[in-house]
A and B are shown apart, each in its own frame.
Chain A
Amino acid sequence: MGNQSTDRVAVLAAHDISKEVSSPEGSLTILADVSFSITAGESVAVVGPSGAGKSTLLALLAGLDVPTRGHVELNGANLSELDEDGRAHLRAESVGFVFQSFHLVPSLNALENVMLPLELAGGGDARSASLDIIDKVGLSDRWRHYPAQLSGGEKQRVAIARAFATEPAVLFADEPTGNLDSRTGSNIMELMFELNYSSSTTLVLVTHDHSLAERCERVLSLDIGRLVSDSKGPA
């Protein structure tokens, strides 16, 4: 997608990325020559059937893994040129995550979980910033609770608070409603879009759910490791 308008800057770009893994039957291609770029503030859904390579693409875009060929540019940095700690540094500065299974640290309470990325990035007053955002996700009276004491929806709210705490340039969400009932799920998505809008974060959302995907500005469809369509949504 080369023709970006000049006033909008590409915050995330995939340049011909491929991912191959070795398997008993030889080399297996999970992702083949995928290219696109996403501009700041955009909300993009990645859809496709199981095994299409959605999670792999997400891992490569976020620098959790490196492509076999091609490279990813995140916030102006070529991820392939960074070592693991370098990528970690970049994530701490400009990336937030929301996972399907929440991934909260069980030994920390809600507040401490939200503070974690702020502290890793070495920001200022992690505590009051975290309390603010916890308030925004509607858990101001539950911040002392540990993950085991929270419901699924509450856990995901904490995870969303954690993801937005650092005001990341890009927020990656991997099936954020996959482990929630539909009602809680739609509440959670409501919250996520709201925060995304108000903080003008770029959102990359991996999902099965087409109704969810349609709420994004843009939908990337993957099938068997290839990008099969790139369409603007209704927004």
Chain B
Amino acid sequence: MKAIAFALRSFGRELRSGEVLVLLAAIALAVAALTAVGFLTDRIGKAVARQANEVLAADLRLRSPEPIPDDWREKAAEFGLQVAETNTFPSVVFAGDLSALATIKAVSETYPLRGNVRVSDTLFGEQRVVDGIPRRGEIWADGALLARVDADVGDKLTVGESNLLVTAVLTYRPDQSMGFASLAPSLLMNIDDIPASGLISEGSRVGYGLLVAGDDTVVDAFNEAIQENLTASVRTSNREESSDRANNAADRAQRFLSLTAVISLLLSAVAVAMSARRFAHRRMDTVALMKSLGATQRFVISVAVVQLMLLGLAGVIAGSGIGYAAQKILSWILADLIAGDLPGVGPMPVFLASGSALVLLIGFALPSLIQLRNTPPLRVLRHDAMPPAPSRVLVAGLSLAAVAALLYRAVGDAKMLVILLGGIVIIAAALYFVGRILVASMGHFRSGVGVAWRYGLANVARRGRDSAVQVVAFGLGLTVLLLLTIVRTDLLQGWRQTLAADAPNHFMINIQPHELDSVANIYAAEGIDVPEFVPLIRARMSTINDVSVKEREYPTPDGQWMANREANLSFAATLSSSNELIEGEWWPQDYAGPPLVSVEEGAAVETGLALGDRMRFMVAGQEIEVTIASIRKVNWDSFKPNFFMVFSPGALDGMPTTYIASLRLEKEQQPVLVKLVRAHPSISVIDLDSILQQVRGIIEKASVAVQAVFVFTLAAGIAVLFAAVQSTIDERRFESAMLRALGARKRTVFAGVMAEFAALGIAAGVLASAGASILAWIVAVRLFDLPYEFNPLLWMVGLVAGVTVVCASGLVAARGAINAPPVEVLRAA
């Protein structure tokens, strides 16, 4: 009790000393980074959880690329279950001359069976839950879709051959894609409007859905009863597996962001350790005095712990406030990337961050406090009497345990934790090593510079260990900020530059055979080159070398998925110009023998296919066996229609076929699309330019959001610098006073200190530029297969940013030392 009272009494004034402020700032930063991410992921997680129960809008969903047979609906009715029907497909909608790709969801009267649809009456208006679906002749459209065609509630949109009235803005439907919005915003319409719209014809890409809901046991019984009659193309999904998937996606996003926050946390830990060391050091005199006055070790340690806890509490409060504000900004940046609205924040992230702050203090500040406890009272008489240094095992053990505890929460998996811990130790050691080298190499310039620089460089070298830590702390934050800037700008631009200038920018899909002439005429009439129409036949692979695709083993999970999903087949007499044969032989132009197939290289590798392998495909109820005659490499960046499986001519004759085509349309040629889609409503035109733009928008926003999280890392780097400067501030005061006593002008002292920080900044900038370049190279060449050009501007930015940030924060941190009048300091010494 005495200890608490004493701690409280002196706390207010302690707060004014520099190292306590740094300690407070470091804790606040760690908490801010954690809570900002925590609040955001908590909100997304809650949205996902809320949605998980209604993700199917039903208890059981059957989906098929073919219309669902009537007898299934009847069967469901026999079981006494509720049913609803949906048709889902992409289509272009128009408002005047503007058009946009939309996901059309046509639903029957009873939709949704679970969950609710929410709409608002105006764009960004108050949303409300609605019962039922749009009436005939009416639609509810996503705000993003309305924005793209510049329409509003009350306008009419052209959907296929129909003009439908927008009566509400669709803000939420239970079965919308999870978490992140899809590229094509949705439009909800009445299924009874479908026939008149002409949107669906034979061979159209439509997902037919049958939704079923009712008593759990009855649904299960129904599910069991239909399993044996299911054709291969029908997928059933129930609630559990769907919500699992959704939760997994949210989980992954959460872990990734948490890991980013942990980097700030680790840097804050360094600052905490440094300032706690000074916190303890400054208290030694007081502790010795109190012991000489009769204070016990317990009292001494209690006072320090209480004050540290108070600091932690203040840090948590300040950090949570900053984190809450940052989360607001983050969710604003990500606003249109996240589908639907987010629930409010809960208190959980604050509890977790407080726990982390506690772990941080125990792991990184406690060792210094334990040392404080052993301060000899003799120090009141002999100032050089020091407590024994804390044991290295204790220090390393506590901090490693703390890091492990903090990381475990972010990764949630013991094996990953060990790998990550190992990685962190190795990377930290490597970075520290690089930092030491950079610091050491600075020393070589000492002889060739003026007195201020020599003084500054000497200081960097003398505090070698601390200097290296500061270089790494800043370098790390800058690296990531630079890297994300490159990813955002250079990489996307680099990819666009690899594309041919005349690469197609529009795709047409769902062209029926009887429409080919008419489509060709529409283009010819406008003087546009008629594109090549490539046939597309939808099929399902059944066996490979007589083994069922369901039972076969695959080299990769992707291969398994590829073999089991619906396949798009094509046929051709000649090899497309965007293909290159790498194995086997292409068939002669007039080939008429048994069916052959040419397989794309990647598909062959992932599915484990080789020349001569036999596959069977089910096409419209018929079975076709083909032999692999060749393996091709495909240049996907050509934006020409390409297929994993290309059959020999004649092999697919008589099968239901649609055509696809790609072509380049300049801006002034694009009105032709309006004519085309009005004449042929079931043809979908996909505008690649606008999709690329959306992709870029998404990448841009996501990286800005991640960068925002890394601003905390940079701030933690600044905290490390402050802590380092604080721990040398007495030394610095004394030195600058001495220099000035020796006749140095204030400006010279200032220049010397600035030279020291500039040197640190240069080293951090070099580290960051090199790090970002290497990482960007890996991302470009390894991940995206793009040529990477080293960007000299990056080095400029890195160096300037490094020097500016370090000098500015160093100046603030060390200003007291620079301005100290010599007399005062010499008197104090």
A77 at the interface (CB under 8 A from B): no
Within 8 A of B (CB), among A73-99: 84-85, 88-93, 95, 97, 99
CB closest residue in chain B, given A60: B378
A41 at the interface (CB under 8 A from B): no
Q: Could you tell me which A residues sit within 8 Å of B by CB distance?
A: 55, 58-59, 62, 64-65, 84-85, 88-93, 95, 97, 99, 103, 105-108, 112, 116-117, 119-122, 146, 162, 174
Contact of B294 among A89, A112, A146, A174 (CB under 8 A): A89
Assuming the A-B contacts A97-B380, A99-B380, A106-B13, are A119 and B2 also in contact, with contact meaning beta carbons closer than 8 angstroms in the complex? Answer: yes
Assembled-state Cα–Cα distance A81/B297 (Å): 18
Highest count of chain A CB atoms <10 Å: which of B292, B376, B380: B292
B392 at the interface (CB under 8 A from A): no
Contact of A65 among B2, B295, B296, B378 (CB under 8 A): B378
CB closest residue in chain B, given A58: B381
- Whether A64 contacts B294 by the Cβ 8 Å rule is no
One digit per residue, 1 when the CB lies within 8 angstroms of any chain A CB and 0 when it does not, for chain B 427-456 equals 000000000000000000000000000000
One digit per residue, 1 when the CB lies within 8 angstroms of any chain A CB and 0 when it does not, for chain B 366-406 equals 00000000001110111000000000000000000000000
Contact of A64 among B297, B298, B380 (CB under 8 A): B380
- Whether A107 contacts B13 by the Cβ 8 Å rule is yes
Assembled-state Cα–Cα distance A91/B377 (Å): 11
- Whether B380 contacts A112 by the Cβ 8 Å rule is no
B9 at the interface (CB under 8 A from A): yes
Q: A92: which B residues are within 8 A, CB to CB?
A: 293-295
Q: B289: which A residues are within 8 A, CB to CB?
A: 103, 105
Contact of B10 among A103, A108, A121 (CB under 8 A): A108
One digit per residue, 1 when the CB lies within 8 angstroms of any chain A CB and 0 when it does not, for chain B 286-325 equals 1001111111111100000000000000000000000000
One digit per residue, 1 when the CB lies within 8 angstroms of any chain A CB and 0 when it does not, for chain B 1-45 equals 010011001101110000000000000000000000000000000
Q: Other than A64-B292, A93-B294, A120-B295, give 13 A-B pairs with Cβ distance below 8 A.
A: A64-B378, A84-B291, A88-B291, A88-B295, A92-B295, A97-B292, A103-B285, A105-B290, A108-B10, A112-B9, A117-B294, A119-B2, A119-B5
Assembled-state Cα–Cα distance A58/B13 (Å): 32
Q: B285: which A residues are within 8 A, CB to CB?
A: 103
Q: A99: which B residues are within 8 A, CB to CB?
A: 380-381
Contact of B377 among A55, A64, A116, A121 (CB under 8 A): A64
CB closest residue in chain B, given A91: B294
Assembled-state Cα–Cα distance A85/B302 (Å): 14
Contact of B293 among A58, A85, A117, A146 (CB under 8 A): A117
12 residue pairs of the A-B complex, CB under 8 angstroms, read A64-B377, A65-B378, A84-B291, A88-B291, A88-B377, A89-B296, A97-B293, A99-B381, A117-B293, A119-B2, A120-B290, A122-B2
Assembled-state Cα–Cα distance A217/B199 (Å): 116
CB closest residue in chain B, given A116: B293
CB closest residue in chain A, given B293: A117
Assembled-state Cα–Cα distance A116/B12 (Å): 17
Q: B376: which A residues are within 8 A, CB to CB?
A: 64-65
Assembled-state Cα–Cα distance A168/B596 (Å): 107
Assembled-state Cα–Cα distance A107/B291 (Å): 17
Q: Interface residues of B: mostly helix, strand, loop or mixed?
A: helix
- Whether A120 contacts B2 by the Cβ 8 Å rule is yes
Closest 9 CB pairs of A and B: A92-B294, A107-B10, A107-B13, A91-B294, A117-B293, A85-B296, A64-B377, A64-B378, A103-B289
Assembled-state Cα–Cα distance A162/B376 (Å): 21
Q: B9: which A residues are within 8 A, CB to CB?
A: 108, 112
Within 8 A of A (CB), among B782-799: none
- Whether B13 contacts A85 by the Cβ 8 Å rule is no
Assuming the A-B contacts A55-B382, A92-B295, are A105 and B377 also in contact, with contact meaning beta carbons closer than 8 angstroms in the complex? Answer: no
Q: A88: which B residues are within 8 A, CB to CB?
A: 291, 294-297, 377
Assuming the A-B contacts A65-B376, A97-B380, A112-B9, are A107 and B292 also in contact, with contact meaning beta carbons closer than 8 angstroms in the complex? Answer: no
One digit per residue, 1 when the CB lies within 8 angstroms of any chain A CB and 0 when it does not, for chain B 341-381 equals 00000000000000000000000000000000000111011
Highest count of chain A CB atoms <10 Å: which of B5, B296, B378, B381: B381
Q: A62: which B residues are within 8 A, CB to CB?
A: 292
Q: A58: which B residues are within 8 A, CB to CB?
A: 381
Q: A59: which B residues are within 8 A, CB to CB?
A: 378, 381-382
Nearest CB on A from B711, distance (A)? 34
Contact of A174 among B2, B291, B381 (CB under 8 A): B381
- Whether A55 contacts B381 by the Cβ 8 Å rule is yes
CB closest residue in chain A, given B374: A84
Q: B380: which A residues are within 8 A, CB to CB?
A: 64, 97, 99, 103
CB closest residue in chain B, given A85: B296
Highest count of chain B CB atoms <10 Å: which of A55, A62, A116: A116
Assembled-state Cα–Cα distance A59/B290 (Å): 15
- Whether A105 contacts B286 by the Cβ 8 Å rule is yes
Assembled-state Cα–Cα distance A102/B535 (Å): 96
CB closest residue in chain B, given A96: B293
Q: B293: which A residues are within 8 A, CB to CB?
A: 91-92, 97, 116-117, 120, 162
Q: A122: which B residues are within 8 A, CB to CB?
A: 2
Nearest CB on A from B578, distance (A)? 76
Nearest CB on B from A15, distance (A)? 20
Q: A93: which B residues are within 8 A, CB to CB?
A: 294
Assembled-state Cα–Cα distance A57/B359 (Å): 44
Q: B382: which A residues are within 8 A, CB to CB?
A: 55, 59
- Whether A85 contacts B297 by the Cβ 8 Å rule is yes
Assembled-state Cα–Cα distance A99/B377 (Å): 13
Contact of A85 among B2, B12, B292, B298 (CB under 8 A): B298
Within 8 A of A (CB), among B144-189: none
Highest count of chain A CB atoms <10 Å: which of B293, B295, B296, B378: B293
CB closest residue in chain B, given A92: B294
Assembled-state Cα–Cα distance A112/B377 (Å): 20
CB closest residue in chain B, given A83: B297
- Whether B13 contacts A120 by the Cβ 8 Å rule is no
Q: B2: which A residues are within 8 A, CB to CB?
A: 119-120, 122
Assembled-state Cα–Cα distance A91/B381 (Å): 15
Nearest CB on B from A19, distance (A)? 11
CB closest residue in chain A, given B6: A119
Assembled-state Cα–Cα distance A62/B2 (Å): 24
Nearest CB on A from B373, distance (A)? 10
Assembled-state Cα–Cα distance A189/B791 (Å): 75
Assembled-state Cα–Cα distance A120/B295 (Å): 6
CB closest residue in chain B, given A118: B293
- Whether A120 contacts B297 by the Cβ 8 Å rule is no
Assembled-state Cα–Cα distance A42/B290 (Å): 26
